[in-house]
């Protein structure tokens, strides 16, 4: 069965979604990620979607699920690299994915995750308010 590879980078897990996913692949990714987070006690998950040209409500829900499940396992999720056309379409669809942290690219995403896991750091939401 094909799966999307999950890379371990220290305390974090990195996933790059490059293919046009069919539903089963998305569900498998969800399962794999939760398994890996638990297995490695990961503190953060970075999902890079800079190659994804289509994000529909199913994929959107999957991403939201991953973020929620990770949180339960005490890991922060960051979504990076959403393309402008995808962002515009998602907003029009009515999905704002408000619970998920986002970043422009993997580099920024890693910064956010590092800050999150730094014991002395107080996390800030994107709009500036303290969590």
Q: Which residues bind another protein (CB under 8 A)?
A: 20-24, 53-58, 61, 79-97, 102-105, 108-109, 126-129
- CB-count burial class (<10 Å; 0-12, 13-18, 19+) for 127: exposed
Report angle CA 106, 109, 110 to the nearest 5 degrees: 90
Q: Closer to another protein by CB, 27 or 73: give it.
A: 27
| In the complex, least distance from residue 102 CB atom to another protein, rounded to whole angstroms | 4
C-beta closer to another protein: residue 38 or 58? 58
- Based on CB atoms, which residue is closest to another protein, 6 or 49? 49
* Alpha carbon distance 106, 21 (integer Å): 20
């Amino acid at each position: 069965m094909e799966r999307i590879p999950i890379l371990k980078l220290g305390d974090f897990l990195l996933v790059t979604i490059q293919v046009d996913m069919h539903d089963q692949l998305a569900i498998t990714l969800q399962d794999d990620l939760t398994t890996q987070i638990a297995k490695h006690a990961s503190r953060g998950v970075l999902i890079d979607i800079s190659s994804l040209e289509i994000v529909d409500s199913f994929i959107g829900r999957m991403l939201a699920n991953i973020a929620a499940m990770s949180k339960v396992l005490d890991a922060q999720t960051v979504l990076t690299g959403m393309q402008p056309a995808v962002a515009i379409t998602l907003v029009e669809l009515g999905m704002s994915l408000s619970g998920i942290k986002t970043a422009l690219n993997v580099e920024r995403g890693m910064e956010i995750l590092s800050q999150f896991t730094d014991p002395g750091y107080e996390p800030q939401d994107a709009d500036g308010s303290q969590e």
